[in-house]
Amino acid sequence: MNEKLYLEDEENLGTQVDESYEQVYCKPGTLTDVPFHYCPGCGHSVVHKVLMEVIAELGIQEETIGVAPVGCSVFAYQYMNIDMQEAAHGRASAVATGVKRVLPDKYVFSYQGDGDLAAIGTAETIHTVNRGENILMLFINNGIYGMTGGQMAPTSLIGQVTSTSPYGREAAQVGNPIKIADMLCLLPGAYYVTRQIVHNPNGVRKLKKALIKAFEYQKQKKGTCFVEVVSNCPSGWKMTPVETIKYIEEKMLPMYPVGDLKVPQN
Amino acid sequence: MEKKEKRTGEAKLMKGNEAFAEAAIRADIDAYFGYPITPQSEVLEYLEREIPNRHGLVLQAESEVASINMVYGAAGAGARVMTSSSSPGISLMQEGISYIAAAQLPCLIANVVRGGPGLGTIQPSQGDYFQATKGGGHGDYHLIVLAPSSVQEMADFVFDGFRLAEKYRNPVMILSDGALGQMMEKVILPEEGSLPKTTPAWATTGKTKNREHNVITSLFIQPEEMEQVNLRLQEKYKAIQSEVRYEEIQTDDAEILLVAFGLSSRICQKTVDLAREKGIKVGLLRPITLYPYPYARLNELSSQVEFMLTVEMNAGQMVEDVRLAVEGKVPVHFIGRMGGMILSPEDILHKLESVHESHNAVNV
Ligand SMILES: Cc1ncc(C[n+]2csc(CCOP(=O)(O)OP(=O)(O)O)c2C)c(N)n1
Ligand code: SF4
Ligand SMILES: [Mg+2]
- Note the pLDDT tens digit of each residue in B131-174: 999 989 999 999 999 999 999 999 999 999 999 999 999 999 99
Quick check: is B209 in a domain?
Answer: no
- What kind of fold does domain A37-262 have according to CATH? Rossmann fold (3.40.50)
**Cβ within 8 Å of residue A35, ≥6 positions away:** none
pLDDT tens digits along A9-49: 666 677 777 788 887 888 899 999 999 999 999 999 999 99
Instruction: Extract long-range pairs of A150-159: CB within 8 Å, 24+ residues apart.
Output: A150/A233, A150/A235, A150/A236, A150/A237, A150/A238, A153/A113, A153/A114, A153/A115, A153/A118, A153/A119, A154/A114, A154/A115, A154/A118, A154/A119, A154/A178, A154/A180, A155/A114, A155/A118, A155/A180, A155/A256, A157/A251, A157/A252, A157/A255
pTM of the model: 0.96
Instruction: Extract long-range pairs of A171-175: CB within 8 Å, 24+ residues apart.
Output: none
* Minimal C-alpha gap between A67 and chain B (Å): 9
Average pLDDT, chain B: 96
Q: What ipTM was predicted for this assembly?
A: 0.95
pLDDT of residue B146: 98
**Angle CA(B265)–CA(B146)–CA(B38) in degrees, nearest 5?**
80
Res. B4: pLDDT tops 80 = no
Taking any CB pair shorter than 8 Å as contact, residues of chain A touching chain B are 32, 61-65, 67-68, 74-75, 77, 80-88, 91, 94-103, 106, 123-124, 126-127
**Do both B253 and B236 map to the same domain?**
no
Residue A156 DSSP code: P
Q: Ligand 1, from A70, A142, A180: best to mutate by most atoms within 8 Å of Cβ?
A: A70
Instruction: Write out chain B residues lying below 8 Å of A88, CB-based.
Output: 69, 72, 95-96, 99
pLDDT of residue B56: 97
Q: A39 CB under 6 A from ligand 2? A: yes
**Do both B232 and B253 map to the same domain?**
no
**Cβ within 8 Å of residue A98, ≥6 positions away:** B31, B33, B69, B70, B71, B72, B73, B74, B75, B76, B77, B81
**Do both B46 and B168 map to the same domain?**
yes
CB neighbours of residue B57 within 10 Å:
18
**Do both B157 and B100 map to the same domain?**
yes
Pairing of strands B81-85, B107-113: parallel
**Which residue's C-alpha comes closest to atom 8 of ligand 2?**
A42
Spell out the domain ranges in chain A. 1-30, 37-262
Tell me which residue of A129, A100, A68 sits closest to B79, measured CA to CA: A100
State in Å: Cα A37 to ligand 2 middle: 9
* Minimal C-alpha gap between A113 and chain B (Å): 17
pLDDT of residue A8: 47
Percent pLDDT > 90 in chain A is 89
**Cβ within 8 Å of residue A220, ≥6 positions away:** none
**Do both B86 and B122 map to the same domain?**
yes
Res. A184: pLDDT tops 60 = yes
Quick check: is B202 in a domain?
Answer: no
pLDDT tens digits along B174-197: 999 999 999 999 999 999 989 999
CB neighbours of residue A178 within 10 Å:
17
**Do both B56 and B138 map to the same domain?**
yes
Pairing of strands B215-216, B332-336: unpaired
**Do both B118 and B233 map to the same domain?**
yes
pLDDT of residue B134: 96
Q: What is the CATH number of the domain that holds B78?
A: 3.40.50.970
Average pLDDT, chain A: 94
Question: Cα(B97)–Cα(B171) distance, rounded to whole angstroms?
Answer: 8
Res. A2: pLDDT tops 60 = no
pLDDT of residue A10: 66
Alpha carbon A54 to chain centroid, angstroms: 13
Res. B3: pLDDT tops 80 = no
Percent pLDDT > 90 in chain B is 95
CB neighbours of residue B238 within 10 Å:
10
**Which residue's C-alpha comes closest to atom 12 of ligand 1?**
A71
Quick check: is B226 in a domain?
Answer: yes
Classify the C-alpha dihedral A45-A48-A51-A57 as positive or negative: negative
Instruction: Write out chain B residues lying below 8 Å of A102, CB-based.
Output: 30-31, 57, 74, 77-79, 81
Give B362's pLDDT tier (boundaries 50, 70, 90).
Answer: low
Quick check: is B192 in a domain?
Answer: yes
pLDDT tens digits along A124-146: 999 999 999 999 999 999 999 99
Name the closest ligand to CA A44.
2
**Do both B94 and B236 map to the same domain?**
yes
pLDDT of residue B363: 60
3-state secondary structure (DSSP) of residue A1 = coil
Q: Provide the domain limits for residue B44.
A: 12-197+214-242
**Do both B113 and B235 map to the same domain?**
yes
Res. B208: pLDDT tops 70 = yes
State in Å: Cα A137 to ligand 3 middle: 15
Quick check: is B327 in a domain?
Answer: yes
**Cβ within 8 Å of residue A136, ≥6 positions away:** A107, A108, A109, A110, A211, A214, A215, A218, A225, A226, A227
Residue A122: which H helix or E strand, with range? Answer: helix A122-130
Structural contact between residues B149 and B265, judged by C-beta atoms closer than 8 angstroms: yes
3-state secondary structure (DSSP) of residue A70 = coil
Structural contact between residues A241 and A234, judged by C-beta atoms closer than 8 angstroms: yes
Tell me which residue of B142, B114, B362, B351 sits closest to B256, measured CA to CA: B351
Name the closest ligand to CA A37.
2
pLDDT of residue B6: 63
| Partner A contacted by B72 (CB < 8 A) | yes
Quick check: is B207 in a domain?
Answer: no
Q: What is the CATH number of the domain that holds B358?
A: 3.40.50.920
Give A5's pLDDT tier (boundaries 50, 70, 90).
Answer: very low
**Which residue's C-alpha comes closest to atom 1 of ligand 2?**
A146
Query: How much is the CA Rg of chain B, to the nearest whole Å?
Result: 21
Amino acid at A91: R
Counting one residue from A and one from B, how many pairs have CB atoms under 8 Å apart?
128
**Which residue's C-alpha comes closest to atom 7 of ligand 2?**
A233
pLDDT of residue A44: 98
Query: Which of ligand 2's atoms lies nearest the C-alpha of A71?
Result: 4
Instruction: Write out chain A residues lying below 8 Å of B207, CB-based.
Output: 61-62, 81-83
Tally of domains in chain B: 2
Q: Which among A81, A91, A102 has the least Cβ separation from residue B77?
A: A102
Instruction: Give mean pLDDT, residues B97-120.
Output: 97
